[in-house]
Structure 1
Amino acid sequence: MAEPTGTGATERVADVLLLFTYGPPTLGVTRVSRELDLSKAVVHRILRSLTSRDLIAYDPDTREYRLGPAAAALGSRALRDSDLRATALPFLSELRDRLHETVTISAKVHGGRVYLDQVVGNHEITMSVELGRRFPLHAGSSGKCMLAHSDPDEVDRLLAGELQALTPATPTDPEALRAELTEIRARGYAASAGERQGDAGSVAVPVFGPGGLVGAVSVCGPRFRVTEEFVADTAPELIETADRITAQLGGTAPARAVHTSTGRTT
């Protein structure tokens, strides 16, 4: 196994750090080595360097590593300074007050997406999401609507790899998912029922900045309330909200088949 040098070494360090943003909260050298196809010696050196800067913390009892306080500080600063989060938050609150379900804003990141913020619904039984954790793009409405508007080469790479089943409802057939992505682009929104969490349903619309796709806004709730009728009624309002966020960011929303004021297809 070749030793990384130069830019490759920097990428390996970033890959190790990013590995802690999904999956189990603690990882050992062997798991990191296997996940990233790096030698244990290389992984150990990287982890030791990250630990020295408090980006990673080591537990001598379990001999495993977890994200450290410096990583938490970086994440908090990133959230605080996020233009997407700051721009979206008033619109999320407004939409939650109309729909009474949890409304979220996600950002697209390398290898997936993360929730930046949420305004929790005001029902007695409601949903909440985990902020800052990386989730795959093929599971759930927020990920799928981002994937539908991603670079075709990125879509091909993702569909050529393993589509992990997070629940029994997670899409794992690449050709079926490719067809669904085409439908999502045409109608302007994605919906899911139990794909990322078995008891949750959601509908999501992508958000765009000056450089293109930046994230997605979604409405989510318990699966028994997020019915097909709820999705059909909610999608036009969600599209309108996403378009307003896109306009504030200086982006351009794509053409779609749903009329945002009536919900009728054209």
Structure 2
Amino acid sequence: MMRDPRPPQGAQSALRAIRLLKLFTPERAEMTLAELSAAAELNKTTTHRLLQALQSESLIERNAANSAYSLGPGLMALGVQALASSDLRRRVRPLLRALARDIGETATLEVPVENSMLILDEVAGGHVISAAGNIGTRWPLHATSTGKAWLAFDNDGLARLSDSLPPLTRRTLTRKAAFQPELTRIRRCGYAVTVDELEDGFTAIATVIRSGLGEVQGALSIGGPTQRLGPARRAEIGASLCKAAIRLSPEY
């Protein structure tokens, strides 16, 4: 399904406010009016007016000590409500538990958000050393198994990638053209793999899940230390994920 990138008429203020919220990151959790104004490419008067509106709804907080802004508790409440009301998360949760139990590694449900994959839900594996505690984290599409799976099976997925992509490790694919053979392989076998591409020592395997109309809704992933997930093990997990995705199908 093609997405219409054009904003609706009359929505300029709302879009500007949303873009201000999106400027905050874990690395830049607090920003001044001047920083926000420059990053959003808005004048200070407009930026201040939008921040006041967001602050009135507790979506933004202002630090009285240094006058810097940060995301507010209202956004946290909205995030909790969004998780609780997610039908996809409720439907997939039992399967995540089963996958984590049977495979022994961390299982995640991830959905695309702009040019990243958001971890919507996660169940930790049984090992002491495992990936866990990442619900709400976003990782770049090009460096994740879930992102690769989504790019392979979504009709306009590749449109989100830039021609040049930032490396996270020495094995990260950084050229859009390099994805074509990779995506062909993923379509053929049904699942995607990343080995030391998101982080050195971390491997993940993923496949997509679909709606009753066949649209890609998100991706299932299993991830853990590269030393435990060699080629044979990755193939086994890939096959298990593909079977699990079929079981999630409304027609199953």
* Pairwise TM-score range, normalised by the shorter structure: 0.7 to 0.9
Return closer, same or farther for 1:30/1:180 CA change in 2, 3 Å cut-off: farther
Quote the offset at 1:243 in angstroms.
Answer: 1.9
Quote the offset at 1:131 in angstroms.
Answer: 1.2
Q: Distance in 1 between matches of 2:26 and 2:209?
A: 23
Return closer, same or farther for 1:43/1:155 CA change in 2, 3 Å cut-off: farther
Q: Are 1:231 and 2:239 counterparts?
A: no
Specify the SS of the correspondent of 1:97: helix
Q: Are 1:167 and 2:169 counterparts?
A: yes
Q: Are 1:92 and 2:102 counterparts?
A: no
Return closer, same or farther for 1:84/1:137 CA change in 2, 3 Å cut-off: same
* Residues 58 and 73, structure 2, Cα contact 8 Å, conserved in 1: yes
Tell me the equivalent position of 2:209.
207
Tell me the equivalent position of 1:216.
219
Deviations 1:105-164 (A, max 9, x none): 112223422111111011122111421133321111011111222333x5234234x522
Q: Distance in 1 between matches of 2:230 and 2:44?
A: 48
Letter in 1 for 2:56: S
Quote the offset at 1:28 in angstroms.
Answer: 3.6
Aligned match of 1:12 in 9, 16, 21?
16
Return closer, same or farther for 1:34/1:177 CA change in 2, 3 Å cut-off: farther
Deviations 1:199-250 (A, max 9, x none): 31100001111351111010011122122222112110011112222x14x6
Tell me the equivalent position of 1:192.
194
Deviations 1:60-91 (A, max 9, x none): 33443222111011000111111111111111
Q: TM-score, normalised by structure 1?
A: 0.82
Letter in 1 for 2:139: F
Q: TM-score, normalised by structure 2?
A: 0.86
1:33-44 correspondence to structure 2 within 5 Å = 33-44=37-48
Percent sequence identity over aligned pairs:
33
Q: State how many pairs are aligned.
A: 243
Q: Distance in 2 between matches of 1:78 and 1:106?
A: 14
Return closer, same or farther for 1:28/1:188 CA change in 2, 3 Å cut-off: farther
Deviates more, 1:190-199 or 1:99-108: 190-199
Deviations 1:159-197 (A, max 9, x none): 34x522233332211111233122222221111122223
Specify the SS of the correspondent of 1:221: strand
Q: Are 1:109 and 2:113 counterparts?
A: yes
Deviates more, 1:27-36 or 1:69-78: 27-36
Deviates more, 1:29-38 or 1:116-125: 29-38
Letter in 1 for 2:185: E
Q: Distance in 1 between matches of 2:122 and 2:14?
A: 33
Tell me the C-alpha RMSD between the 2 structures.
Answer: 2.3
Deviations 1:3-31 (A, max 9, x none): xx822222222222233366533334444
Q: Are 1:83 and 2:71 counterparts?
A: no
Gapped runs of 5+ residues in structure 2? 1-8
